[in-house]
């Protein structure tokens, strides 16, 4: 039997950066994100005879890119499949579903991304969320799908499980606005309408410092002191701006947050930076706009590319504006969405 699930990536407004317990991806502070739609991963699970989950990159899933995983990356995916196989029977039972994994069989896993590597989209978030959901569907049987559509509690349980594989993946299960605080991963009320994320792809080179290392290194920065408290306070302000629909306020908090996270990188021991000359040029050009009366929401992940989020109604106009301002920079766009689903 073959099952497939898809999960989009997400972009953090208040960042998860720094862990209190790396073994279980316990974040040092809560975070807030927006879930995307078509920048996503698809995971396929087939039951095959054997004792351990296996990764099968061939043939690629139609129309999707096979992630170019390092041996360590592949190990992480397989370790997560083992974790899912262990944890899901109890979790499914809680929701009234039996474990339907055929005995003597294990999961053969295929993953494909709708976007290429290095474009500033977190593929670990989307791929771990997609894999967790595909494992849930494979083990939960055909009743799983209808339960998934209707049950926020099942989504939260699977998000917690996904978090153990990749922290930020827990925010990709639902959407569009997500708050992750410890073991609570929930959608946020918002008066802000649909939003489009225009990603300015400044550079596609693989990152010199991966996010796991970044999570460790930020704690050596003198700016780390007080960071969890500041992030907590910013989450509060961002949630408030979403709830009342104050776009301009939201943009200013998110802009400051991006600078703060990158300042942690720039002041770590040893310091490191994701910024390329073009990233700085883009930030400088956008700065007056962020402080205007109709601002874009500008943020960056742990990478050189710049995310420019704008209300959907203004998205075509903004795309043109960004192309005019940065004619040599590739532009990738996606809209906010509702999270992972079974295919
Ligand atoms: O989930 P991880 O370990 O890849 O960490 C994600 C870190 C950032 O993307 C930089 C911030 C975030 O909250 O998504």
Where are the alpha helices (H) located in 246-276, listed in sequence order?
247-266
Question: pLDDT value at position 59?
Answer: 86
Q: Rounded to whole angstroms, how far apart are CA atoms 224 and 228?
A: 8
Distance 47 CA to ligand 1 centre (A): 31
Pocket of ligand 1 (CB under 6 A): 12, 15-17, 31, 122, 124, 166-168, 211, 301-302
Q: Classify strands 195-201 and 306-311 as parallel, antiparallel or unpaired.
A: antiparallel
Distance 299 CA to ligand 1 centre (A): 13
Q: Classify strands 105-113 and 177-181 as parallel, antiparallel or unpaired.
A: unpaired
Question: pLDDT value at position 117?
Answer: 80
Distance 311 CA to ligand 1 centre (A): 24
Residue of 301, 303, 304, 306 with the most ligand 1 atoms within 8 Å of its CB, for mutation = 301
Residue 200 pLDDT class (50, 70, 90 cuts): very high
Q: Quick check: 118 pLDDT over 80?
A: no
Q: Residue 211 phi/psi, 5° resolution?
A: -65, -30
Other residues' Cβ atoms within 10 Å of the Cβ of residue 238: 22
The answer to whether 179 and 239 have CB atoms below 8 angstroms apart is yes
Q: Give Cα separations from 283 to 30, 238, 287, 326 (angstroms).
A: 25, 21, 6, 11
Distance 211 CA to ligand 1 centre (A): 6
Question: pLDDT value at position 57?
Answer: 84
* Percentage of the chain lying above the pLDDT 70 cut: 100
Q: Rounded to whole angstroms, how far apart are CA atoms 341 and 196?
A: 20
Looking at the DSSP bridge assignments, the partners of residue 271 are: none
Q: Residue 186 phi/psi, 5° resolution?
A: -140, 155
The answer to whether 296 and 256 have CB atoms below 8 angstroms apart is no
Residue of 9, 12, 268 with the most ligand 1 atoms within 8 Å of its CB, for mutation = 12
Q: Give Cα separations from 269 to 213, 222, 263, 287 (angstroms).
A: 12, 9, 12, 28
Q: Residue 74 phi/psi, 5° resolution?
A: -65, -40
Q: Give Cα separations from 172 to 123, 169, 234, 341 (angstroms).
A: 11, 5, 21, 10
Q: Quick check: 65 pLDDT over 80?
A: yes
In the chain, beta strands by DSSP E: 2-14, 19-21, 26-27, 31-49, 54-55, 105-113, 177-181, 184-187, 195-201, 297-300, 306-311, 330-335, 341-342
SS3 47: strand
- Return the closest-CA partner of residue 26 out of 122, 156, 124, 167: 167
Question: pLDDT value at position 154?
Answer: 96
Distance 3 CA to ligand 1 centre (A): 28
Q: What is the pLDDT of residues 263-275, one digit of tens each?
A: 999 999 999 999 9
Residue of 211, 227, 254, 306 with the most ligand 1 atoms within 8 Å of its CB, for mutation = 211
Question: pLDDT value at position 240?
Answer: 98
Q: What is the pLDDT of residues 213-225, one digit of tens each?
A: 999 999 999 999 9
Q: Which atom of ligand 1 is nearest to the CA of 15?
A: 13
């Amino acid at each position: 039997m073959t099952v497939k699930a898809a999960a989009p990536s997400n972009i953090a407004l208040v960042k998860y950066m720094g862990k209190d317990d790396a073994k279980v991806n316990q974040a040092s502070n809560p975070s807030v994100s927006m879930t995307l739609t078509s920048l996503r991963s698809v995971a396929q699970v087939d039951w095959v005879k054997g004792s351990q989950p296996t990764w099968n990159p061939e043939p690629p899933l139609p129309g999707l890119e096979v992630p170019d995983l390092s041996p360590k990356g592949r190990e992480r995916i397989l370790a997560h499949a083992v974790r899912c196989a262990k944890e899901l029977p109890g979790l499914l039972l809680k929701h009234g579903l039996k474990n339907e994994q055929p005995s003597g069989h294990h999961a053969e896993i295929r993953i494909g991304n709708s976007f290429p590597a290095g474009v500033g989209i977190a593929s670990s978030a989307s791929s771990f969320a997609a894999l967790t959901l595909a494992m849930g569907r494979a083990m939960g049987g055909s009743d799983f799908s209808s339960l998934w559509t209707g049950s926020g509690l099942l989504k939260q349980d699977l998000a917690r499980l996904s978090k153990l594989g990749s922290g930020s993946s827990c925010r990709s299960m639902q959407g569009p606005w997500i708050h992750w605080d410890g073991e609570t991963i929930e959608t946020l009320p918002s008066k802000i309408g649909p939003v489009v994320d225009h990603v300015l792809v400044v550079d596609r080179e693989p990152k010199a410092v991966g996010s796991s290392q970044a999570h460790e290194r930020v704690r050596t920065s003198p700016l780390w002191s007080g960071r969890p408290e500041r992030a907590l306070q910013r989450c509060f302000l961002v949630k408030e701006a979403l709830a009342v629909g104050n776009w301009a306020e939201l943009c200013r908090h998110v802009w400051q947050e991006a600078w703060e996270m990158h300042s942690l990188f720039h002041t770590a021991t040893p310091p490191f930076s994701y910024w390329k000359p073009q990233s700085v040029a883009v930030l400088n050009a956008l700065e007056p706009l962020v402080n205007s009366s109709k601002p874009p929401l500008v943020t960056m992940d742990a990478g050189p590319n710049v995310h420019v989020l704008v209300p959907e109604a203004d998205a075509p106009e903004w795309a043109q504006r960004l192309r005019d301002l940065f004619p040599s920079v590739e532009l990738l766009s996606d809209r906010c969405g509702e999270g992972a689903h079974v295919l």
